A and B are shown apart, each in its own frame.
Chain A
């Protein structure tokens, strides 16, 4: 079955540590996205990529980094510069990244700080 796989489901970060969240899709979609969800809040865009080797900052990119070396993969690194990383992180994809498209989501990663 086609879809988006996020791992791990739960992740814990120590002070000063960088952690990487994995996102893989087999939908052959060009566009991929990372969203952050805080309790009682909507989804906020961290980064998105519409093509391999290119990505754009979203509304809250500070303290995060991404790479897009393969069409299928869009990992997110939460760096030590992100002072409030505890949140639910959702990866999504769409066919081409245009405004009318629906998004397909993974099942998320809950990141907590130890």
Chain B
């Protein structure tokens, strides 16, 4: 079975601080995909990034960056110079192809990290 662990239930920082959200995963698949989604107070999850298991390059998008390390089965997310608008629940998710059909029934979400950015 596959598993995603987001050990940080809640993080609170002051605006402009950098913050890293941890994600550790387990899977038997050699091909898999990792995702990050943001859930603001409005409730709708918004896709942030997808990584496949063969691409270990780190990615930067504005103030957001992602560090994928297969050796430690981690896919961490860093927000630089945080802003109040970054306050949300962030979910890490893993999709393998081990499950039947390779469809979204194989998508496993972590429990999420509630990020609070204080002004």
Contact = CB atoms under 8 A, between A and B. Distances in A.
**5 closest cross-chain pairs (CB), A and B:** A42-B109, A108-B43, A105-B45, A99-B95, A102-B47
B4 interface: yes
Interface residues of B, number: 31
A28 to B, nearest CB: 17
Interface in A62-112: 88, 90, 92, 94, 97-108
A98 B105 CA distance: 9
Interface of A: 31, 33, 40-45, 48, 50, 56, 58, 88, 90, 92, 94, 97-108
B35 interface: yes
A99 B45 contact: no
Contacts of B33: 99-100
B50 A58 contact: no
Contacts of A105: 37, 44-46
B114 to A, nearest CB: 9
Contacts of B47: 102-104
Given A40-B111, A88-B43, A107-B42, A100 B52 contact: yes
Nearest to A9: B43
A5 B110 CA distance: 25
Contacts of B91: 42-43
Contacts of B109: 42-44
Q: Which of A43, A50, A106 has the most CB of B within 10 A?
A: A43
Given A44-B109, A100-B33, A108-B43, 8 more contacts: A42-B111, A45-B105, A48-B105, A97-B104, A99-B96, A102-B35, A105-B46, A107-B43
